[in-house]
């Protein structure tokens, strides 16, 4: 098993699971800047959906010894995917899913909206809210907003979908992260890192790092763990609200319970997946204990289930990891953008959006034009480059899509 290409940098090589000529030059420059950091362990891995990101490249997997760069995690800490296989089949669905979409949008706030009433389910997560008091002091005034946004979708590329697999089983799937509180914590710590003296000589100050054994690192790791936990619970809360909305139309709906953690968790894990793709993990690679940041990448240990979504309405893949060591046991997080939102709005029309999402119950107004499938890379090509990273377990075809 080997990557498609190997690039040189001043310090460590970059192993790519795509062809460099298909990646914008600015993203390649970002990868070289990351690989030149003195804390890099062995190499940097670039996934098939790699593209330019803010601060650090989306689709990058970075292992560091005794250091971590908050920009290499991203500002949506803990962003990721969740999917549940239900007991429904395609024959249970009505021909017109418009009312179902409206019910989901009414149950789960999208865009900049939030819950105006804090539910008992949210209030009872005492461990999460008790730990909030131990976050960085600059976040102290955000508790109310964080509680109101638990169980909300957000905007941009976040989505909720109702999908069918090859056997016509109905799946619930969604993509979201830690909302405003995650971004706020990331911005706080990126700002702190940039001001530390050991980062003054870095080739790119956006890649400023925290060092092990320092109070700044300890505070960041504490806040990072909390935000990752919040993001996972946000997806779990939305799935519960999603199921509640569906039961108005399908009273017999049943969904699986959460599976055991880790790979090899059996069929329950296959039917219930919840995975981060912007996060930090403590792992062991190439003879060393390291901090691995995945920004736009999922963990793909041998036997571990994950989700690689396509763009709006183009289909997604449930996959099982192959444990590729050169990729730090990782895989891509989705199709990845091939053009900016501004360029997408200038390139495509609403008629294009309607044509490219035909057969999917979804918004087709100018507000989501920048999420048109044509603005993203071909998901089948991304999966093709991932052949030594994951094996495909199921392809999911969207029949309903909710966007922020």
Residue 336 assigned ligand-binding role: yes
The tokens 């990845």 sit on which residue?
Answer: 336
Q: Which two tokens stand for residue 93?
A: 């669905």
**In this structure, what token pair is assigned to residue 71?**
């920009």
Q: Specify whether 333 is catalytic.
A: yes
Strands, E assignment, 322-371: 330-332
Which residue among 41, 189, 276, 333 is the active-site one?
333
The pLDDT score that the predictor gives to residue 315 is: 87
Q: Which stretches of 140-297 are DSSP H helices?
A: 143-149, 179-194, 215-247, 267-271
pLDDT bucket at 201, cuts 50 / 70 / 90: confident
183 annotated as a binding-site residue: no
Using the predicted structure, report yes or no on whether residue 261 has a pLDDT greater than 60.
no
Q: What is the pLDDT of residue 267?
A: 52
Q: What structural domains does the chain harbor?
A: 5-338+376-403 (3.90.1860.10), 341-375 (no CATH)
Q: pLDDT value at position 260? A: 46
Q: How far apart are the first and last CA of the chain?
A: 39
Residue 158 in marked binding region: yes
Residue 144 annotated as lining a ligand binding site: no
Instruction: Examine the pLDDT at 119 and tell me if it is beyond 50.
Output: yes
Higher pLDDT, 89 or 255: 89
Tell me the pLDDT tens digit for each residue of 176-192.
999 999 999 999 999 99
Q: For residue 76, say whether it is annotated as part of any ligand binding site.
A: yes
Rounded to two decimals, what is the model's pTM?
Answer: 0.94
| Over residues 299-314, mean pLDDT | 92
Report the C-alpha gap between 7 and 138 in whole angstroms.
40
**Residue 257: pLDDT band with limits 50, 70, 90:** low
């Amino acid at each position: 098993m080997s990557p498609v290409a190997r690039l040189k940098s001043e310090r460590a090589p970059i192993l790519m699971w795509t062809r460099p000529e298909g990646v914008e030059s600015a993203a390649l420059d970002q990868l070289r800047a990351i690989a030149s950091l003195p804390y890099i362990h062995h190499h940097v891995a670039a996934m098939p959906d790699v593209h330019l990101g803010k601060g650090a490249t989306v689709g990058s997997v970075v292992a560091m010894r005794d250091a971590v760069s908050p920009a290499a995690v991203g500002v949506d800490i803990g962003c990721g995917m969740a999917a549940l296989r239900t007991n429904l089949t395609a024959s249970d669905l009505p021909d017109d899913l418009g009312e179902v979409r409206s019910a989901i949008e009414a149950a789960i706030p999208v865009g900049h909206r939030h819950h105006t009433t804090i539910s008992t389910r949210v209030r009872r997560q005492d461990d999460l809210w008790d730990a909030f008091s131990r976050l960085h002091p600059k976040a102290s005034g955000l508790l109310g907003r964080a509680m109101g946004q638990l169980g909300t979708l957000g905007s941009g590329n976040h989505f909720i979908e109702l999908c069918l697999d090859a056997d016509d089983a109905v799946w619930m799937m969604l993509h979201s992260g830690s909302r405003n509180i995650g971004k706020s914590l990331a911005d706080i710590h990126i700002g702190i890192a940039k001001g530390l003296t050991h980062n003054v000589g870095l080739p790119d100050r956006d890649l400023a790092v925290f060092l092990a054994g320092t109070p700044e690192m300890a505070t960041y790791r504490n806040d990072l763990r909390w935000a990752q936990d919040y993001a996972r619970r946000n997806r779990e809360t939305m799935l519960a609200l999603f199921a509640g909305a569906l039961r108005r139309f399908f009273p017999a709906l049943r969904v699986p319970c959460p599976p055991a953690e880790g790979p090899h968790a059996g069929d329950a894990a296959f039917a219930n997946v919840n995975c981060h793709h912007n996060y930090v993990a403590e792992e062991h690679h190439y003879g060393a204990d390291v901090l691995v940041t995945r920004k736009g990448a999922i963990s793909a240990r041998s036997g571990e289930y994950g989700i690689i979504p396509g763009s709006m309405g183009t289909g997604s893949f449930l996959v099982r990891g192959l444990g590729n060591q050169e990729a730090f046991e990782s895989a891509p997080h989705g199709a990845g953008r091939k053009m900016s939102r501004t360029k997408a709005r200038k390139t495509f029309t609403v008629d294009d959006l309607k044509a490219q999402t035909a057969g999917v119950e979804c918004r087709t107004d100018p507000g989501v034009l920048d999420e048109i499938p044509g603005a993203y890379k071909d998901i089948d090509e991304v999966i093709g480059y991932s052949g030594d990273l994951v094996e495909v377990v199921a392809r999911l075809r969207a029949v309903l899509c909710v966007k922020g």
